[in-house]
């Protein structure tokens, strides 16, 4: 089947799929359509939600419908993608004292300091938000640190925890359960509390981590 695919979702959205499994081309295609849509929304457009291989485009069913929305999106796809001019680079401080650091070291066969060095060398992209408010999924964990998530989640992991699983990393914003590996803590606030810019990152931004000794 050829991509992109347009899949109707209930009475009020289309899921535009660019690939079956994550790859950089699909990620770039999602970001390009997301930007094009933000620059030129169609009548009745409600919101767009980017993810690894797909963009959810929600609309007001009182104003438009799936066929009209699909036609508008196909027209946007034929335009050359606007450069990612809005993308920002963020530096996020991390204190690498996470409770799972020794086990991550053991499972990857690296010394704890080598785990930290590898994590610091990663170049991370904000692919999407999900799970809970402000949970930004960062792609770009170096292959040496790829571990499957734990078989079961730990409860009540505090906000600000720096977590990894597979190629993904995130800094938690709420006290929530997680099955990801806790390698450190960060003072950064992704839910900024600023009413004008309530979220630190947008999808498409880049992140680098910087080591700090204490919080």
Partner 1 sequence: MIARLRIVDAGPLASVQDGGRPGLMRFGVPQSGPMDRLAFAMANAALGNPDGTAALEIPPAGLVLDCLSGALSVALAGGGFRATCAGVTREGAGVFPLRAGDRLALRPGDWGNWAVLALAGRLGVPSWLGSAATHAASGLGAGLLQPGTELEVTDTALRPERHGPFDPPPRPDGHLRVVIGPQQRFFAPEAMQALLSQPFRVSAARDRMGQRLDGPRLLPNALDMPSEPVLRGSVQVSGDGVATVLMADHQTTGGYPKIATVIGPDLDALAQMRPDEVLHFTAIRPDQAVRTARAIHEARMTRLAALAGPRDLGQRLAQANLIGGVVDARG
Binding site for partner 1 (CB under 8 A): 7-13, 15, 17, 21-22, 46-56, 58, 61-62, 65-67, 128-137, 174, 176, 195, 198-199, 202-203
98 vs 167, which CB is nearer to partner 1? 167
Which residue's structure tokens are 């690894």?
A: 52
Q: Which is nearer to partner 1, 12 or 119 (CB)?
A: 12
Tell me how far CA of residue 2 lies from CA of 83, 134, 197, in angstroms: 25, 33, 38
> From CA 213, how far away is CA 215, in angstroms rounded?
7
* CB nearer to partner 1: pick between 77 and 174: 174
Give min distance, CB of 9 to partner 1, in A: 5
State the minimum distance, in angstroms, from the CB of residue 159 to partner 1.
Answer: 10
Neighbour order of strands in the sheet with 89-94: 89-94, 206-211, 124-129, 136-139, 168-171, 161-165, 181-185
Nearest approach in angstroms of CB 178 to partner 1 is 13
Q: Give the pair of three-digit tokens for residue 202.
A: 């947008």
Query: Shortest Cβ distance from residue 63 to partner 1 (Å)?
Result: 10
How remote is the C-alpha of 215 from its chain's centroid? 25
Which CB atom, from 99 or from 175, has the smaller least distance to partner 1? 175
- Measured CA to CA, the distance from residue 158 to residue 152 in angstroms comes to 17
CB of 78 to partner 1, least distance (A): 23
Q: d(Cα 8, Cα 4) in Å, to the nearest integer?
A: 13
Which CB atom, from 94 or from 170, has the smaller least distance to partner 1? 170
């Amino acid at each position: 089947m050829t991509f992109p695919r347009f899949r109707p979702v209930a009475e009020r959205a289309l899921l535009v799929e660019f690939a079956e499994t994550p790859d950089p081309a699909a990620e770039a295609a999602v970001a390009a359509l997301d930007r094009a849509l933000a620059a030129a929304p169609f009548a009745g457009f409600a919101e767009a939600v980017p993810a690894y291989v797909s963009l959810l485009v929600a609309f007001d069913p009182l104003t438009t419908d799936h066929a009209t929305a699909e036609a508008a999106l196909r027209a946007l796809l034929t335009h050359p993608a606007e450069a990612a001019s809005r993308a920002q680079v963020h530096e996020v401080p991390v204190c690498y004292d996470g409770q799972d650091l020794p086990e991550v070291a053991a499972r990857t066969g690296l010394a704890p300091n080598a785990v930290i060095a590898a994590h610091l060398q990663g170049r991370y992209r904000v692919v999407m938000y999900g799970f809970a408010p402000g949970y930004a999924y960062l792609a770009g964990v170096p292959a040496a640190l790829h571990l499957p998530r734990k078989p079961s989640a730990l409860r009540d992991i505090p906000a600000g925890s720096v977590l990894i699983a597979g190629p993904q990393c995130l800094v938690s914003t709420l006290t929530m359960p997680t099955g990801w590996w806790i390698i450190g803590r960060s003072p950064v606030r992704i839910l900024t509390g600023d009413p004008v810019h309530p979220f630190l990152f947008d999808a498409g931004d880049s992140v680098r981590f910087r080591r700090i000794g204490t919080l």
